[in-house]
Amino acid sequence: MPKPSAGKPSHRKTRVTRRVRPSLVVAACVIVIVYLAYVLLLIPPAAAPGRKVNILLLGVDVRKGDRGRADTMIVASLDYLTNSVKVLSFPRDTRILIPGRGYDKANAAYAYGGPELAVEAVSSTLGIPIHYYISTDFGGLVKVVDRLGGLTITVDKPMKYDDPYQNLHINIKAGTQAMDGKTVLEYARYRSDPEGDIARVRRQQALIIEILKKAAQPGSWGTLPGLLQDLGEMVHSNISRLRMLPLGTALLLGAKSAEARTLPGKASLVNGVWYWITEPAQVKQTVRDFLGMNGR
Q: What pLDDT digit, counting tens, does each position of 252-278 carry?
A: 878 888 899 999 999 999 999 999 999
pLDDT of res. 190: 87
**Predicted confidence (pLDDT) at residue 158 exceeds the cutoff of 60:** yes
The reported pLDDT for the residue numbered 66 is 67
Q: In sequence order, what E strands does the chain have?
A: 52-61, 69-79, 84-90, 95-98, 102-105, 132-137, 151-155, 159-163, 168-172, 175-179, 236-237, 259-262, 266-270, 273-277
| Cis before 49 (ω within 30) | yes
pLDDT at 7 over 70: no
Residue 208 is classified by DSSP as H
* pLDDT confidence bin for 231, thresholds 50/70/90: confident
- Supply the DSSP string of 71-100, one letter for each residue: EEEEEEEEETTTTEEEEEEE-TTBEEEETT
User: Contact 269/95 with Cβ under 8 angstroms?
Assistant: no
CATH topology of domain 45-289: Aminopeptidase (3.40.630)
Write out pLDDT tens, residues 37-50: 555 555 666 565 55
Full-model pTM:
0.76
